[in-house]
Amino acid sequence: WAMYADDIEAIQRLKREQDAVILAHNYMTPEVFHGVSDIKGDSLALAREAQHVDAGTIVLAGVHFMAETAKLLNPSKRVLLPDLRSGCSLAESITPEDIAQLRRDHPGAPVVTYVNTSAAVKAASDICCTSGNAVKIITSLGVDKVIMIPDQYLARNISALTGVEVVTHPGACEVHERFTPLDIVQIREGHPGVTVLAHPECPPEVVAEADFAGSTADMQRYVETERPASVALITECSMSDNIAAQHPDLEFVRPCNLCPHMKRNTLGAIRAALETGGPEIDVDPAVAEPARRAIERMLQVN
């Protein structure tokens, strides 16, 4: 960690000077996650916590849609995203026009939109969900059929759990779609007794091979309550690194894929954001109100 000391010290000082807090997704590298972050968690926790930030500036160590969500939920704050290129393959897969077409094709079906989308897509939706609350959100609607976009795999995994028919969209997470059932078979062969936890953005046949599926926060809770001696997290690489740092007694088998968007949040980029006051995230006023409504509906359910 000696190589990070200068940046960490500068960031801690800048946070005080700028009245800033850092909200960090679980996929940040350990020096960001454990070194400089104030509020940490999955997409759901970051959305919830963003509402209650008192500081004047939020630095969102995550990706663009997370920064937009923070801005929507706490609009008087300055929200900084260290690198504007931090996108998401799911968010990029869908437009409001795609939703309009789905509504025409499936009249009456509510549109449940994963938070991994732009504010404009959220604005065209009825309610949002995250991987941590998708079952509760779908069940709360009390209908037999929903349009659930844009992650085809999350949609199919949640349909299997709830029995609700889902119409979806061909979006996928570029990190989780790369895992295969064979990956898990090989992990089990190499590590007898290992517990395998998969993210529900993985294809259903991958989830079927796992012992448990859940959001990044669900995975952390599972590890901390069940304390499996050996565990494999089928998700982004930093997830295991961050939990392993807190639980050195547990063995983490690491079959992981990197998210290039998350990895743009280096200490250097965070420091530069605090030094320059940018890039700042704002949301088009034409979509802010309906997008906020879709997120707030979600937070009212869970």
Give the footprint of ligand SF4 on this chain (CB under 6 A): 63, 88-90, 116, 173-175, 201, 236, 259, 261-262
Q: Which residues 6+ apart lie within 8 Å of 9 measured at CB?
A: none
Q: Which does 256 bind (CB under 5 to 8 A by kind): ligand 13P, ligand SF4, none?
A: none
For the chain, give me the number of helices (H) and strands (E)?
A: 15, 12
Binder among 37, 89, 93, 131 for ligand 13P (CB under 6 A): 131
Binders of ligand 13P among residues 56 to 115 (CB under 6 A) are none
Is residue 180 classed as helix, strand or coil in its secondary structure?
A: coil
Binders of ligand 13P among residues 185 to 204 (CB under 6 A) are 201
Q: Which residues 6+ apart lie within 8 Å of 236 measured at CB?
A: 27, 175, 256, 257, 258, 259, 262
Site string for ligand 13P, 19-58 (x = CB under 6 A): -------x---------------xxx--------------
Binder among 86, 116, 117, 152 for ligand 13P (CB under 6 A): 116
In 10 A of CB 13, how many CB atoms?
A: 12
Of 221, 181, 188, 238, residue with least CA distance to 205: 181
Distance CA 73, CA 70 (A): 5
Nearer to ligand 13P among residue 14 and residue 138 (C-beta)? 138
- By CB under 6 A, residue 242 contacts ligand 13P: no
Q: Which does 216 bind (CB under 5 to 8 A by kind): ligand SF4, ligand 13P, none?
A: ligand 13P
CA angle 160, 88, 240 (to 5 degrees): 70
Nearer to ligand SF4 among residue 7 and residue 201 (C-beta)? 201
Backbone angles phi, psi at 75, to 5 degrees: -65, -20
Q: Which does 80 bind (CB under 5 to 8 A by kind): ligand SF4, ligand 13P, none?
A: none
Q: Give the residues lining the site for ligand 13P (CB under 6 A).
A: 26, 42-44, 116, 130-132, 173, 201, 215-216
